[in-house]
Chains A and B, each alone.
Chain A
């Protein structure tokens, strides 16, 4: 009798749980998981998106991996460069802002909102504004540098500064989000631990390194996973700011995918690029999980 009642409670709890998560699970399945199936299929075909797809086996994959697609490895390299610049810088600046926002200073809510604003601004608008800021002849950045006696580079007109410019803009757009998440993480650190460390004679840096950082590590881990995935999918900023240029200096993976699928209308090849990206992100995320054992501290 008691077992039956317990089972009923469990079933009711499960039903309640599914009622809560059901819409999200259903939406994810319909709009995220289900489209993956045809994407896998199309990746083995030659298809322009209008007629019937022709099965060509692994040809799309060999085309990419053998280097027949001139820009495949270039775009891959550019994406890694972007990721290496964007992820640590975005989290580091977010952390610095979160530490600042955590201080009981006047007007802090206003500054938190201010730093979060790039996150809620259209990326297209962000791209256009920053394109003007970076304009080496008429832009604000080089004007400011010029006032300090520095001859600014052609930000979007030369390969290395162009990638740096896109990374800086990407960091600018994400720092508010990182700040908010890290700020929430900071507030969950027990004050008595920090106080105990102080009593034990730990200085500010020591408290940060030995108490704050370990407690924040799950949050940093979460942000790093999201940032890596986001960096592999950077598109709008590139499209608006550089169009992949100058030359192919900012030609990232997703940009190539978009060009192939929707400009050249090579949907089969575009699907193959999407599938490879899917597995690449899955592998990198799995690697991050594995490595997290060494540096993420759970209470």
Chain B
């Protein structure tokens, strides 16, 4: 496989050189590339090949997918532009190792990073602001081709520091056999999401019929539960927490009761995927890539999370790529990164179920909605990019130091574990988590304006006037 890949690369390079050479011979000084359907980019084909390195952590399967996506981007656009992406192996399958590469100035020119870490990298002036390139009439992106969340979800104080080719939607995976045994039909759209009462009734019914847990979820399910009950992580000015309301307490408490009192949902130490794969959980809330890891013995489908109780919501994980300040040719890196959001690579991401492509044509195209490949209702994934009425399905989680404190306060073992093993009450959980968030707000003297100030002071905003979200 690797050998074939290398041979193909060599051939590809030769083709690029030949193209460039021929262009020089016939005296054609430039080449026009239709970009995003509207913008054009003139490239001098007599120039040498611009090389861009690429790196991401991920399983062997993912690495193979990246190599295919790179190949697709080369064929689709980059060969014509004399830009070559060189895939690099990640030193380990761990984000922290990638952070040390940033610290050492050795990250790849296109570097995938955990979306939660983009804010810190921007604040520490380790990555490029991308707005000027995205808006550039020659090499920029046609914003209309992408879902709006492409530019809102990862925005750092309104500015772009990363590009998201795809996002992994968290939905409910269900065991088809258990559902049939219990005579339950799964909803097929977020519009038809179960109410909290129906959800809990069905969890009970499934547990009774199967002898397994009715549902299994990881700690971060608290996010959609809170937001679905009308809570928010922070108030709008980011000076206080916004999730300690009675409504949030009431909603969350119902899930706590399922675990602690009724014992029909998983405990914190039990991993949802392990339970689901063993047939010991009838439903699990999990990200999109979980599908590839579900046992072949399990017949499964996907459905939306429930209303808790106002809205049915979820949290998407953005597959974020950034351009480090250490990039040799950052403009070429941006063009290559943009190419990776093109149709051909997006189709590869879609087929691999790595995420819902943010390129609309790909998300709505055949590659993602191939009826011969499970699951049936891929719209449950894509609808997480939409709204029900005026309410978005995806929670736009707060980023930055306060956002991080909030996330760790609600999901870390000491509090979450204590809540779901009955050591503290739901009210105590919310109050303590809230105290932690507000203590951090006080320590950092934080407000909504503070993030922008810090970004300006760090020098990370090279062009504050260029703003995709203006």
Are A and B a genuine interacting pair, yes or no? yes
Q: Determine the distance from Cα of A38 to Cα of B274 in the docked complex, in whole angstroms.
A: 41
Interface residues on A, range: 20 to 34
B425 interface hit (Cβ, 8 Å): no
B466 interface hit (Cβ, 8 Å): no
Determine if A131 and B102 form an interchain contact, defined as CB atoms under 8 angstroms apart. no
Closest residue on chain B to residue A250 by CB atoms: B413
List chain A residues, Cβ under 8 A from B274: 128, 132
Closest residue on chain B to residue A259 by CB atoms: B412
Determine if A157 and B267 form an interchain contact, defined as CB atoms under 8 angstroms apart. yes
List chain B residues, Cβ under 8 A from A244: 413-414, 417
Determine if A49 and B263 form an interchain contact, defined as CB atoms under 8 angstroms apart. no
Determine if B269 and A246 form an interchain contact, defined as CB atoms under 8 angstroms apart. yes
Given contacts A50-B126, A241-B269, contact A247 B418 (CB under 8 A): yes
A264 interface hit (Cβ, 8 Å): yes
Determine if B421 and A245 form an interchain contact, defined as CB atoms under 8 angstroms apart. yes
B100 interface hit (Cβ, 8 Å): yes
List chain A residues, Cβ under 8 A from B100: 49
Determine if A245 and B413 form an interchain contact, defined as CB atoms under 8 angstroms apart. yes
What's the nearest-Cβ distance from chain A to residue B271, in Å?
Answer: 8
- A158 CB contact (under 8 Å) in B120, B280, B421: B421
- B268 CB contact (under 8 Å) in A48, A135, A246: A246
List chain A residues, Cβ under 8 A from B96: 262
Q: Determine the distance from Cα of A158 to Cα of B417 in the docked complex, in whole angstroms.
A: 10
Determine if B263 and A264 form an interchain contact, defined as CB atoms under 8 angstroms apart. no
B270 interface hit (Cβ, 8 Å): yes
Determine if A51 and B408 form an interchain contact, defined as CB atoms under 8 angstroms apart. no
What's the nearest-Cβ distance from chain A to residue B272, in Å?
Answer: 13
Q: Determine the distance from Cα of A48 to Cα of B126 in the docked complex, in whole angstroms.
A: 13
B246 interface hit (Cβ, 8 Å): no
A138 interface hit (Cβ, 8 Å): yes
Interface centre among B270, B414, B418 (most CB of A within 10 A): B414
Determine if A247 and B417 form an interchain contact, defined as CB atoms under 8 angstroms apart. yes
Determine if B269 and A50 form an interchain contact, defined as CB atoms under 8 angstroms apart. no
Given contacts A246-B268, A247-B421, contact A49 B414 (CB under 8 A): no
Closest residue on chain B to residue A50 by CB atoms: B124
Interface residues on B, range: 20 to 34
B103 interface hit (Cβ, 8 Å): yes
Interface residues of A in 93-108 (CB under 8 A from B): none
B229 interface hit (Cβ, 8 Å): no
Interface residues of A in 231-252 (CB under 8 A from B): 241-248, 251
What's the nearest-Cβ distance from chain A to residue B194, in Å?
Answer: 25
Determine if B103 and A49 form an interchain contact, defined as CB atoms under 8 angstroms apart. yes
Interface residues of A in 261-289 (CB under 8 A from B): 262-265
B99 interface hit (Cβ, 8 Å): yes
Interface residues of A in 19-58 (CB under 8 A from B): 48-51
B359 interface hit (Cβ, 8 Å): no
Interface centre among B103, B126, B263, B417 (most CB of A within 10 A): B417
Given contacts A245-B269, A262-B96, contact A50 B417 (CB under 8 A): no
Determine if A50 and B414 form an interchain contact, defined as CB atoms under 8 angstroms apart. no
List chain A residues, Cβ under 8 A from B417: 243-248
Determine if B124 and A51 form an interchain contact, defined as CB atoms under 8 angstroms apart. yes
Determine if A247 and B263 form an interchain contact, defined as CB atoms under 8 angstroms apart. no
Determine if A50 and B421 form an interchain contact, defined as CB atoms under 8 angstroms apart. no
Q: Determine the distance from Cα of A10 to Cα of B121 in the docked complex, in whole angstroms.
A: 57
A209 interface hit (Cβ, 8 Å): no
Closest residue on chain B to residue A262 by CB atoms: B96
A186 interface hit (Cβ, 8 Å): no
Determine if B269 and A263 form an interchain contact, defined as CB atoms under 8 angstroms apart. no
Q: A182-199: contact bitstring with B at CB < 8 Å (1 yes, 0 no)? A: 000000000000000000
A168 interface hit (Cβ, 8 Å): no
Determine if A50 and B268 form an interchain contact, defined as CB atoms under 8 angstroms apart. no
- A157 CB contact (under 8 Å) in B103, B278, B408, B421: B421
List chain B residues, Cβ under 8 A from A132: 274
- A245 CB contact (under 8 Å) in B124, B126, B414: B414
Interface residues of B in 91-123 (CB under 8 A from A): 96, 99-100, 102-103, 120-121
Closest residue on chain A to residue B102 by CB atoms: A50
Determine if A50 and B413 form an interchain contact, defined as CB atoms under 8 angstroms apart. no
Q: Determine the distance from Cα of A245 to Cα of B420 in the docked complex, in whole angstroms.
A: 11
B38 interface hit (Cβ, 8 Å): no
Closest residue on chain B to residue A128 by CB atoms: B274
Q: B421-436: contact bitstring with A at CB < 8 Å (1 yes, 0 no)? A: 1011000000000000
Determine if A50 and B280 form an interchain contact, defined as CB atoms under 8 angstroms apart. no
Determine if B99 and A245 form an interchain contact, defined as CB atoms under 8 angstroms apart. no
Determine if B270 and A50 form an interchain contact, defined as CB atoms under 8 angstroms apart. no
Q: Determine the distance from Cα of A273 to Cα of B263 in the docked complex, in whole angstroms.
A: 38
Interface centre among B102, B270, B278, B404 (most CB of A within 10 A): B270
List chain A residues, Cβ under 8 A from B280: 138
- A265 CB contact (under 8 Å) in B120, B270, B278, B413: B120
Given contacts A157-B267, A241-B269, contact A50 B120 (CB under 8 A): yes
Determine if B418 and A245 form an interchain contact, defined as CB atoms under 8 angstroms apart. yes
A12 interface hit (Cβ, 8 Å): no
Determine if A247 and B267 form an interchain contact, defined as CB atoms under 8 angstroms apart. no
List chain B residues, Cβ under 8 A from A135: 270
Q: Determine the distance from Cα of A71 to Cα of B404 in the docked complex, in whole angstroms.
A: 19
Q: Determine the distance from Cα of A132 to Cα of B99 in the docked complex, in whole angstroms.
A: 33
What's the nearest-Cβ distance from chain B to residue A259, in Å?
Answer: 8
List chain B residues, Cβ under 8 A from A49: 99-100, 103
List chain A residues, Cβ under 8 A from B120: 48, 50, 265
List chain B residues, Cβ under 8 A from A246: 268-269, 413, 417-418, 421, 423
Interface centre among A132, A158, A247, A251 (most CB of B within 10 A): A247
Interface residues of B in 408-466 (CB under 8 A from A): 408, 413-414, 417-418, 421, 423-424
Q: Determine the distance from Cα of A274 to Cα of B327 in the docked complex, in whole angstroms.
A: 33
List chain B residues, Cβ under 8 A from A248: 413-414, 417-418
Q: Determine the distance from Cα of A138 to Cα of B270 in the docked complex, in whole angstroms.
A: 11
Determine if A243 and B268 form an interchain contact, defined as CB atoms under 8 angstroms apart. yes
What's the nearest-Cβ distance from chain A to residue B285, in Å?
Answer: 18
Q: Determine the distance from Cα of A265 to Cα of B120 in the docked complex, in whole angstroms.
A: 10
Q: Determine the distance from Cα of A132 to Cα of B404 in the docked complex, in whole angstroms.
A: 31
List chain A residues, Cβ under 8 A from B263: 137
List chain A residues, Cβ under 8 A from B121: 50
A156 interface hit (Cβ, 8 Å): yes
12 A-B interface contacts by CB (under 8 A): A50-B99, A71-B414, A128-B274, A137-B263, A138-B278, A245-B413, A245-B414, A245-B421, A246-B269, A247-B417, A247-B418, A265-B99
Given pairs A247-B414, A247-B423, 4 additional interface contacts (CB within 8 A): A48-B120, A243-B413, A245-B413, A248-B414
6 residue pairs, one from A and one from B, having the closest CB atoms:
A245-B417, A247-B418, A246-B421, A245-B413, A50-B124, A243-B413
